[in-house]
């Protein structure tokens, strides 16, 4: 049995929008490796994150459950205890499991990986981060911000402070190729997770990739009439935190987009190297390949930046799957998919299972073939007074923001760009009532009682922004970085 089981490769990016693959409709970006995956596999074109923030999204796909079951709602929440991750289930069934790059586990651990090579954004101890240690060994100990300058520079495009061969994206690609080419027992299948921090801001591609796209050639952000009417409190707080709430500079936004695209193309280059390695070692067609991202990025759309919204710019993600014989070459599936589907997809391919809890997802192979009926996929950020919820079906997307005492409804067929909220418009009462009930029933079944009062939404106090325009600005410095300047910082 072990000899026939496929290898599994999960390629993950951080904060990559759904509309950043050339083969799927973006005429500006260059992604030849992702285009190859789309032509040789199936693209799920309505894929959504279970939570538009790093930790909660990663927790959800690790355990195959939505946040209302994991109880991990944001970056400050811990992963659940006493549950088997799908990686652990693979390891127990005989897979060699290895992780490279960003995991963002809370608390940090293995969660089924037999070995890990760490690369995280904020590092407490550089000796505990394999990439930072590598960078220092290469003579770059002076670099205070190995993944780009954060804080007040968070959304200022910037060339990387190291050459491309030492760049964090290249390091993940290099380590992935090394793992693929390792000698191992012929009947031992492997699971490899290769996770890139980019295109998460700061947008810091290396030379000369930072000149692959030029700002004046970049498309402008999506700015529908009354764009601010689609904001929630999360958008306002996020714009403040990222130093983006003091007016829009469209030239700067186009430069952001150029560097953001460059980060993705540099990742694509690594994906190409990985595919070549699989091909040269004779493993390509016996490997299940999944490519996705934990969530998207607003990138100036609606006048907003970051994630933490249920609008497609940040909640919808790319999802490409390649496995000959199981996923059709050049296939396109428009049915709503979710990152919670990754666990059952990998487990079914491996003939492994999880007994500790029920999975919320479905096998993507079944979804593509129409064998997995699905009414909606869900997403959640925080809970209680700050809860933000989404139910998305084939036609309608429903959003509820507790802090704004507000719900939104988008018609995915007639308004795919999400420019007008239909909630409150009398002509759309029936789909609004239907989607609201679907969301409430789902939360009620999961025991999310702090969101509900009976079978209706609970009314929470309205959220407010601080009056001080500097209140809430982000500060993110590495504690180990030597920024001491004698005669200046000690004055």
Give the per-residue pLDDT at 2.
41
How many helices (H) and strands (E) are present in the chain, helices listed first?
A: 12, 17
For 133-153, how does the pLDDT look when each residue is reduced to its tens digit (9 = 90+)? 999 999 999 999 999 999 999
Which of 305-319 are b and which e, b meaning 16 or more Cβ less than 10 Å from the residue's Cβ? bbbbbbbbbbbbbbb
Block residue for tokens 């309608």: 396
Q: What is the mean pLDDT of residues 3-31?
A: 96
The burial class, CB within 10 Å (0-12 / 13-18 / 19+), for 287 is buried
Q: Give 20's pLDDT tier (boundaries 50, 70, 90).
A: very high
Structure token pair of residue 134: 């590598």
- The answer, yes or no, to whether residue 249 has pLDDT greater than 70, is yes
- From the list 463, 399, 390, the residue with the least C-alpha distance to 237 is 463
Q: Give 205's pLDDT tier (boundaries 50, 70, 90).
A: very high
- The answer, yes or no, to whether residue 271 has pLDDT greater than 70, is yes
pLDDT > 70: percent of the chain? 99
Q: Beta partners for 248?
A: none
For 465-479, how does the pLDDT look when each residue is reduced to its tens digit (9 = 90+)? 999 999 999 999 998
Which of 351-364 are b and which e, b meaning 16 or more Cβ less than 10 Å from the residue's Cβ? ebebeeeebbbbbb
Q: Give 187's pLDDT tier (boundaries 50, 70, 90).
A: confident
- For 275, left (φ over 0), alpha (ψ -120 to 50), or beta? alpha
- The answer, yes or no, to whether residue 485 has pLDDT greater than 60, is yes
Residue 97 Cα to chain centre, angstroms: 21
Q: What is the mean pLDDT of residues 254-274?
A: 98
Q: What average pLDDT does the chain have?
A: 96
Q: What is the mean pLDDT of residues 290-309?
A: 98
| Domain locations in the chain as residue ranges | 2-375
Q: Which fold has domain 2-375?
A: Alkaline Phosphatase, subunit A (3.40.720)
Give the per-residue pLDDT at 449.
87
For 428-456, how does the pLDDT look when each residue is reduced to its tens digit (9 = 90+)? 999 999 999 999 999 999 999 899 999 99
- Could you give the CA distance from residue 453 to residue 432 in angstroms, rounded to a whole number? 19
Which of 273-286 are b and which e, b meaning 16 or more Cβ less than 10 Å from the residue's Cβ? bbbebbeeeebbee
Q: What is the mean pLDDT of residues 109-130?
A: 95
- The answer, yes or no, to whether residue 4 has pLDDT greater than 90, is no
Q: Give 195's pLDDT tier (boundaries 50, 70, 90).
A: very high
Phi, psi for residue 310 in degrees, rounded to 5: -95, 5
Give the per-residue pLDDT at 1.
37
Give the per-residue pLDDT at 186.
82
Radius of gyration of the chain (CA): 22
Q: What is the mean pLDDT of residues 186-201?
A: 96
For 349-386, how does the pLDDT look when each residue is reduced to its tens digit (9 = 90+)? 999 999 999 999 999 999 999 999 899 999 999 999 99
């Amino acid at each position: 049995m072990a000899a026939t089981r496929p290898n599994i490769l999960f390629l993950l990016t951080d904060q990559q929008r759904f509309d950043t693959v050339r083969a799927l409709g973006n005429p500006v970006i260059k992604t030849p490796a992702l285009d190859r995956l789309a032509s040789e596999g199936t693209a799920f074109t309505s894929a959504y994150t279970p939570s538009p923030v790093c930790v909660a999204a990663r927790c959800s796909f690790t355990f195959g459950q939505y946040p209302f079951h994991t109880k991990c709602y944001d970056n400050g929440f811990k992963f659940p205890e006493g549950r088997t991750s799908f990686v652990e289930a693979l390891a127990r069934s005989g897979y060699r499991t290895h992780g490279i790059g960003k995991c963002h586990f809370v608390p940090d651990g293995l969660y089924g990986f037999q070995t890990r090579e760490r690369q995280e954004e904020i590092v407490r101890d550089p000796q505990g981060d394999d990439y930072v240690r590598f960078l220092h060994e290469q003579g770059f100990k002076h670099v205070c911000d190995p993944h780009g300058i954060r804080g007040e520079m968070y959304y200022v495009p910037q060339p990387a402070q190291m050459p491309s061969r030492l760049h964090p994206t290249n390091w993940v690609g290099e380590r992935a190729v090394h793992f693929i080419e390792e000698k191992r027992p012929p009947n031992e299948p492997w699971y490899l997770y290769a996770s890139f921090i980019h295109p998460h801001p700061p947008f810091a591609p290396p030379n000369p990739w930072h000149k692959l796209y030029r700002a004046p050639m970049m498309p402008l952000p999506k700015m529908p009439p009354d764009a601010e009417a689609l904001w929630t409190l999360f958008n306002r707080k996020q714009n403040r935190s990222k130093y983006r709430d003091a007016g829009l500079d469209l030239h700067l936004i186009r430069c952001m987009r150029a560097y953001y695209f460059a980060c993705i193309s540099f990742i694509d280059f690594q994906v190409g190297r990985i595919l070549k390695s699989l091909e040269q070692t004779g493993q390509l067609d016996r490997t299940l390949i999944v490519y996705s991202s934990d969530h998207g990025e607003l990138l100036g759309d609606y006048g907003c930046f970051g994630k933490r919204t249920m609008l497609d710019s940040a909640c919808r993600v790319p999802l490409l799957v390649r496995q000959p014989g199981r996923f059709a070459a050049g296939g396109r599936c428009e049915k709503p998919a979710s990152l919670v589907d990754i666990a059952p997809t990998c487990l079914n391919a491996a003939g492994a299972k999880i007994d500790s809890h029920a999975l919320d997802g479905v096998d993507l192979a079944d979804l593509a073939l129409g064998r997995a009926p699905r009414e909606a996929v869900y997403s959640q950020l925080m809970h209680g007074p700050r809860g933000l919820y989404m139910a998305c079906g084939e036609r309608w997307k429903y959003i509820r923001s507790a802090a704004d005492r507000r719900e939104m409804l988008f018609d995915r067929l007639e308004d795919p760009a999400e420019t007008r909220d239909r909630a409150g418009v009398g002509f759309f009462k029936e789909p609004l009532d239907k989607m609201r009930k679907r969301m409430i029933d789902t939360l009620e079944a999961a025991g999310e009682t702090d969101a509900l009062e009976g079978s209706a939404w609970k009314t929470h106090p309205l959220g407010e922004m601080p009056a001080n325009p500097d209140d809430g600005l982000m500060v993110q410095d590495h504690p180990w970085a030597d920024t001491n300047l004698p005669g200046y910082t000690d004055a």
